[in-house]
Amino acid sequence: MSKKQNKLITFFDKASGNRKLYVFLFCLFLATFFWLLNSLGNNYSSEVICDVTYKNQPKGKVVLNDLPKEFKIEIKGLGFDLLALKMSFNHPQVSIDLQKLGVLNGTQKISSIRYATAISNQLGDNIEIKSILPESINLMLDDQMEKTVKVIPQTNLKFKKQYQLFGQILSKPVITKISGPKMIIDTITQVSTSLIEKEELSSTLTESIGFDKKYELLKIKFNPSKVLVHIPVEKFTETAQRAMIEVVNLPDSIKLKTIPHEVEIKFQLPLSKMANLASANFKVEVDYNAIRERFSHKLKINLVEYPDYIQNISLTPEKVEYIIKK
């Protein structure tokens, strides 16, 4: 027999063996399919995790506590329905209408099983609820209240060398309307923004920012929810001025001479205000009454008049000796 005939016989033998294998696998698939159909037509029990959302908050009320975000539910139903739930990539969604609870104020424990019908309808017509965990929900309500309060910017600033804050840190608007539980809103007179942290600050900054995260825990809402915070920054330089010391509350019959008779005033001022310094007024004085009241051998020098744009002021000397002549 030729080699070609041998190869042909071998090919038909293999094909015959593969055909038997395919027939076997097809019969196995049919048997499994019909078994699965029969099984899925029976009732089974299983557990599913459902995500819970809450809607229709009671009008004029605030929920004080955090409500459960999911239920662990034991269910019973046909295999077809349970398989569909199990094969879903997302948890089934359950919605609870808070307005239908009829709770006024205070705390009320609500049995979770009272939602069995509503949950069953959302999961499927043929799903039966056996149990729900947690078994109950604690719902705490308070009256909702609105109030207008002052906004306090909260900052932690570090400036570049020679740069400083020049003026007040302000918010726009300076007030905001807050709403939340009456028991908490009653105690609040001002609110603080989220913390603004800056390093090496060298220019004026205006930033939009929300409010401290602690208010979220207190169930407080804001209108507007953000404010503009303005932080004025200028470059400063150090300089000094000299001024004659004046004496106040001195009787006509007495003469008083201070030693020395003038004082050096050191301070810092913005570079933008250097031109104004030539016309600025500085006034320093000592009070004669301090001698009678404290029997002091030295009098403290008081700076009573100076430009409002200078800062970090120091006097040399801070106190002076004196000579009295009658």
Q: What is the pLDDT of residue 31?
A: 56
Mean pLDDT across the chain, nearest whole number? Answer: 82
**In sequence order, which residues have a C-beta less than 8 Å from that of residue 113 and are 6 or more positions away?**
129, 131, 132, 135
Average pLDDT over residues 286-308: 84
Task: Report the distance separating Cα 45 and Cα 127, nearest Å.
Answer: 10
Quickly state the pLDDT bin for 121 (edges 50, 70, 90): confident
pTM of the predicted structure, to 2 decimals: 0.63
Q: Tell which wins on pLDDT, 101 or 286.
A: 286
Residue 231 has pLDDT above 80, yes or no: yes
**Which residue, chain included where needed, has tokens 């409500």?**
67
- Over pLDDT 70: what percentage of the chain? 78
Average pLDDT over residues 205-223: 94
Average pLDDT over residues 302-311: 92
Average pLDDT over residues 73-89: 65
Q: What is the pLDDT of residue 67?
A: 87
Residue 247 has pLDDT above 60, yes or no: yes
Burial of 141 (0-12, 13-18, 19+ CB in 10 A): buried
Lowest mean pLDDT among 77-86, 206-215, 263-272, 299-308: 77-86
Burial of 205 (0-12, 13-18, 19+ CB in 10 A): middle
Average pLDDT over residues 257-266: 92
Q: CB–CB of 261/244 below 8 Å?
A: yes
Residue 114 has pLDDT above 90, yes or no: no
Quickly state the pLDDT bin for 12 (edges 50, 70, 90): very low
Quickly state the pLDDT bin for 282 (edges 50, 70, 90): very high
Q: What is the pLDDT of residue 83?
A: 59
Lowest mean pLDDT among 156-165, 201-210, 264-273, 291-300: 291-300
How many residues are given for the chain?
Answer: 326
Q: What is the pLDDT of residue 40?
A: 47
Q: CB–CB of 247/320 below 8 Å?
A: no
Lowest mean pLDDT among 40-49, 95-104, 182-191: 40-49
Quickly state the pLDDT bin for 42 (edges 50, 70, 90): low
From the CB of residue 228, how many other CB atoms can be counted at a distance below 10 Å? Answer: 14
Quickly state the pLDDT bin for 150 (edges 50, 70, 90): very high
Average pLDDT over residues 240-248: 92
